[in-house]
């Protein structure tokens, strides 16, 4: 039984999510205690509990402590299901993209389709458009392809977004994503749900104006949804390089002008590009698991406490040599020991 102190390092929900993913893959049971102990609301919240429920269902796991507010969890997985249709409803505006990250490695090359219901565009997590525009192309570079459909968008506080994961296939091998190459193009999606369409247009216009200094083609699509459960807006941007892709996003909120939302996303993207890394800071966290599973290396813009903590959790489950070099940018290299 692997023992994990959920309060170490960054002390957040990523410790739990990485543990769930790797426990399912390695079939190693674990006990995690002090879950999110230093947070304002300690223990499992609905978003974290949904990740537990999802991996439990996919692996027919034996679980103790799976309830809201629990600060200790015992998780003992069995075989990952080969097929099935699953639905997991967070029940709040908790992030579906964080649950998505937890289960995606488990559905690879299986006849499994998953519907996730909750928040698609919420603070402190990657937007669903970041997942589609940035994460999926990076996965393609390491040999994984799949579909992510956004049936409904969900914003804070109502949630109600609906995302489908299906057809994830591939034979990932060792990879190296350490150079961005020459900037080729800027892409993006500016969206609005149950609010006037001009908000999305203004977000796009201000982002385009800010990024025009780069001197490359800018193509930002509009996604206007008139009848969603929740109201909200946001914009996600992607900088396509010859060898990689870097992303950034920003969300609208009450009292925040649409122009400021577009500018904020553009400023975030420019800051990421300035680092000279091959991937952005979000991807620096997300790619770590795949590099550790498949002997990969990559460079990323900023080394976060989140990333450092994630590396320590990975080493608890995998016999892997990990190198973390530098701060901004930083380079991550992993090699599985036989």
CA distance 277 to 301: 5
CA distance 313 to 148: 27
Q: Tabulate helix, strand, coil % of the chain (nearest 5).
A: 35, 35, 30
Q: Do residues 5 and 34 touch, judged by C-beta distance below 8 A?
A: yes
Rounded to 10 deg, the angle between the 13-26 and 96-103 helix axes is 30
**Which tokens is 173 given?**
């091998």
CA distance 94 to 46: 7
Query: How many whole angstroms from its chain centre is CA 134?
Result: 10
Q: Which of 314, 318, 287 is nearest to 141 (CA)?
A: 287
**Which tokens is 18 given?**
């990485």
Q: Is 63 exposed, middle or buried (0-12, 13-18, 19+ CB in 10 A)?
A: middle
Query: How many whole angstroms from its chain centre is CA 231?
Result: 22
**Which tokens is 294 given?**
């498949």
Catalytic residue check, 306: yes
Q: Do residues 327 and 289 touch, judged by C-beta distance below 8 A?
A: no
Beta-strand pair 62-64/72-76: antiparallel
In the block, residue with structure tokens 């994503």: 177
DSSP assigned state of 132: I
Of 48, 191, 282, 306, catalytic? 306
Backbone angles phi, psi at 3, to 5 degrees: -105, 130
| 101 marked as part of a ligand binding site | yes
Residues making up the annotated binding site are: 101
Active-site positions? Answer: 306
């Amino acid at each position: 039984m692997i023992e994990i102190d959920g309060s170490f390092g960054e002390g957040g929900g990523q410790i739990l999510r990485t543990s769930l993913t790797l426990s399912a893959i390695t079939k190693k049971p674990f006990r995690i205690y002090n879950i999110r102990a230093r947070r304002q609301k300690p223990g499992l919240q609905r978003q974290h509990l949904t990740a537990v429920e999802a991996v439990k269902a996919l692996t027919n796991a034996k679980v103790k402590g799976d309830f809201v507010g629990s600060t200790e969890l015992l998780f003992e997985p069995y075989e990952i299901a080969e097929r099935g249709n699953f639905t997991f409803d967070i029940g709040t505006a908790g992030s579906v993209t964080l649950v998505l990250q937890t289960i995606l490695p488990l559905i690879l090359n299986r006849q499994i389709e998953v519907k996730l219901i909750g928040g698609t565009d919420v603070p402190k997590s990657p937007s669903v458009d970041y997942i589609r525009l940035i994460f999926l192309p990076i996965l393609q570079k390491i040999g994984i392809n799949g579909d992510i459909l956004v049936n409904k968008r969900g914003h804070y506080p109502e949630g109600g977004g609906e995302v489908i994961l299906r057809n994830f296939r591939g034979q990932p091998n060792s990879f190296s994503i350490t150079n961005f190459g020459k900037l080729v193009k800027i892409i993006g999606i500016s969206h609005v749900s149950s609010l006037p369409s001009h908000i999305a247009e203004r977000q796009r216009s201000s982002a385009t104006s800010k990024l025009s200094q780069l001197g490359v083609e800018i193509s930002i699509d509009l996604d206007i949804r008139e009848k969603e459960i929740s109201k909200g807006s946001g914009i996600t941007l992607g900088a396509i390089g010859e060898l990689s892709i870097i992303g950034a996003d920003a969300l609208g909120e009450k009292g925040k002008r649409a122009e400021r939302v577009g500018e904020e996303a553009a400023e975030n993207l420019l800051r990421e590009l300035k680092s000279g890394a091959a991937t952005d800071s979000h991807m620096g966290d997300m790619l770590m698991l795949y590099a550790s599973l498949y002997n990969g290396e990559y460079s990323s813009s900023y080394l976060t406490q989140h990333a450092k903590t994630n590396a320590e959790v990975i080493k608890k489950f995998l016999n892997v040599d990990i190198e973390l070099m530098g701060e901004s940018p930083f380079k991550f290299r992993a090699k599985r020991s036989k």
